[in-house]
């Protein structure tokens, strides 16, 4: 068995998948190829009309491809391809794109190519990889995250974009892309992740010399704090870099971050807050961190020895049980499944709301447990 879990957990995952399927089938009929983000009063609006290059615009396509793979129902593939085509114009908007090309094209064109061998989709994926590669900064060895004039930062989130380059390297035969991805992962080991298993969100570099100028708090509570979604990106991202390269330091880093995450989550009975180093009150949850960490822990469990796997699968299940017991909306008339996701700590409208990537990672985790998932990353 891929995950060493009890039969009753498989049954539980089947029940949750049945609920998810009812909900996503209705959402697919309602929204088709729109680009959902945060529903307002139970309904998504189309981010593609407002902000085509927004980093979350492809998670819905990733969900559609997962559903297509799991159910073989054509409507999911049709809507995913429709979304991918809408995104074509974004590939031409070089000045508006940031480093999140992985989040945007792994879930669309690359998934399409991997599942249906569509050559045009492969070309789009390689184009996206080339744009990401062009953001590499040799002074500092990192992919520049955003385009703020006069400023250059690397962020922990980018670990999830690196698989676009690992895939692109294999498909194009260009080893440089994999080497750049590894240079960025090595930089993250050195200056983003901390030795105690926690992580910075942002590292600001001098643009000319690569000297480190600052490590601001970013979307977490503040400088030196411990933003939980960033930790989940680190667990999953480092496990993926290990998968594609076999470099032991990446696996060790994924484990260190996982141990830190699990210890903190367990202290609160697996309710995950936005930041593990923030005041006890007020309590702000972030279930996107919980479900993304669960996927990262499941991926990690696939790369460790037989007697180590449960260290990661058991907490992954605890996180998923908690989210589905307390924080899911199963009403098929309303959009969005996971509730209480938080995009950032210090903005009220971004706290404790349903967010599309929470739903993506819940779906991926449940399909993983059923061995019906498809690796988007
Ligand atoms: N990648 C941005 C975020 O996690 O909010």
Ligand 1 centre and the CA of 218: distance in Å? 10
* Percentage of residues of the chain with pLDDT beyond 70: 100
Closest ligand 1 atom, CA of 100?
1
- 267-297 tens-digit pLDDT: 999 999 999 999 999 999 999 999 999 999 9
Give whole-number Cα distances, 46 to 16, 104, 348, in Å.
Answer: 27, 15, 22
Q: Is 202 touching ligand 1 by the criterion CB < 6 Å?
A: no
Torsional class of 325: left (φ above 0), alpha (ψ -120 to 50), beta (otherwise): alpha
Give the number of other Cβ atoms within 10 Å of residue 39's Cβ: 18
Q: Is 98 touching ligand 1 by the criterion CB < 6 Å?
A: no
Ligand 1 centre and the CA of 8: distance in Å? 34
Q: Which of 233, 286, 291, 350 to mutate to test the pocket of ligand 1 (most atoms within 8 A of CB)?
A: 233
Closest ligand 1 atom, CA of 155?
1
Q: Are 356 and 341 in contact (CB under 8 A)?
A: no
* Structure token pair of residue 42: 């139970």
Work out the pLDDT band at 228, boundaries 50, 70, 90: very high
Q: What is the mean pLDDT of the chain?
A: 98
SS3 for 58? coil
Mean pLDDT computed over 236-263 = 98
Closest ligand 1 atom, CA of 343?
5
The Cα 207–Cα 255 span in angstroms is 32
Q: Are 338 and 320 in contact (CB under 8 A)?
A: no
Work out the pLDDT band at 1, boundaries 50, 70, 90: confident
* Structure token pair of residue 27: 């959402």
Q: Shortest CA distance to 371 belongs to which of 6, 14, 25, 99?
A: 14
**Burial class of residue 207, CB neighbours in 10 A (0-12, 13-18, 19+):** middle
- 94-105 tens-digit pLDDT: 999 999 999 999
For atom 5 of ligand 1, the residue with the nearest CA is 343
Q: Give the CA count within 13 Å in the CB-facing half-sphere of 170.
A: 10
**R_g over Cα of the chain:** 19
- 158-184 tens-digit pLDDT: 999 999 999 999 999 999 999 999 999
Task: Look at residue 337 in the predicted model and tell me its pLDDT.
Answer: 98
Q: Shortest CA distance to 35 belongs to which of 15, 18, 51, 19?
A: 51
Give the number of other Cβ atoms within 10 Å of residue 21's Cβ: 15
Closest ligand 1 atom, CA of 160?
1
Helical H runs in 268-309? 287-301
């Amino acid at each position: 068995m891929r995950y060493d879990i009890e039969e009753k957990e498989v049954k539980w995952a089947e029940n949750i998948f049945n609920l998810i399927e009812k909900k996503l089938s209705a959402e697919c009929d309602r929204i088709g190829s729109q680009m959902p983000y945060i529903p307002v009063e139970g309904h998504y609006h189309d981010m593609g009309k407002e902000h085509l290059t927004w980093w979350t615009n492809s998670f819905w396509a990733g969900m559609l491809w997962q559903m297509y793979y799991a159910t073989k129902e054509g409507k999911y593939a049709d809507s995913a391809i429709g979304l991918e085509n809408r995104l074509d114009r974004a590939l031409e908007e070089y000045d508006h794109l940031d480093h999140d090309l992985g989040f945007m094209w792994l879930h669309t064109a690359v998934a399409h190519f991997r599942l249906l061998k569509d050559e045009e989709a492969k070309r789009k994926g390689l184009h996206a990889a080339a744009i990401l590669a062009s953001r590499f900064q040799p002074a500092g060895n990192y992919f520049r995250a955003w385009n703020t004039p006069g400023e250059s930062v690397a962020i922990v989130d980018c670990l999830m974009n690196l698989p676009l380059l690992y895939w692109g390297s294999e498909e194009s035969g260009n080893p440089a892309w994999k080497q750049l991805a590894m240079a960025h992962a090595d930089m993250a080991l050195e200056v983003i992740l901390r030795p105690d298993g926690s992580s910075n969100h942002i590292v600001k570099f001098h643009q000319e010399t690569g000297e480190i100028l600052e490590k601001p708090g970013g979307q977490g509570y503040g400088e030196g704090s411990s933003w939980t979604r960033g930790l989940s990106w680190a667990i999953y991202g480092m496990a993926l870099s290990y998968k594609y390269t076999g470099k032991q330091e990446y696996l060790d880093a994924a484990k260190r971050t996982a141990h830190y995450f699990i210890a903190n989550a367990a202290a609160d009975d697996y309710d995950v807050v936005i930041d593990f180093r923030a005041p006890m009150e007020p309590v702000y949850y972030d279930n996107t961190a919980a479900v993304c960490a669960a996927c990262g822990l499941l991926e990690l469990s696939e790369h460790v020895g037989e007697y180590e796997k449960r260290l990661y699968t058991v907490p992954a299940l605890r996180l998923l049980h908690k989210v589905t017991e307390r924080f899911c909306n199963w009403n098929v008339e309303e959009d969005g499944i996971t509730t209480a996701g938080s995009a950032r700590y210090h903005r009220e409208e971004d706290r404790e709301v349903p967010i599309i990537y929470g739903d993506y990672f819940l779906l991926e985790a449940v399909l993983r447990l059923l061995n019906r998932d498809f690796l988007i990353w």
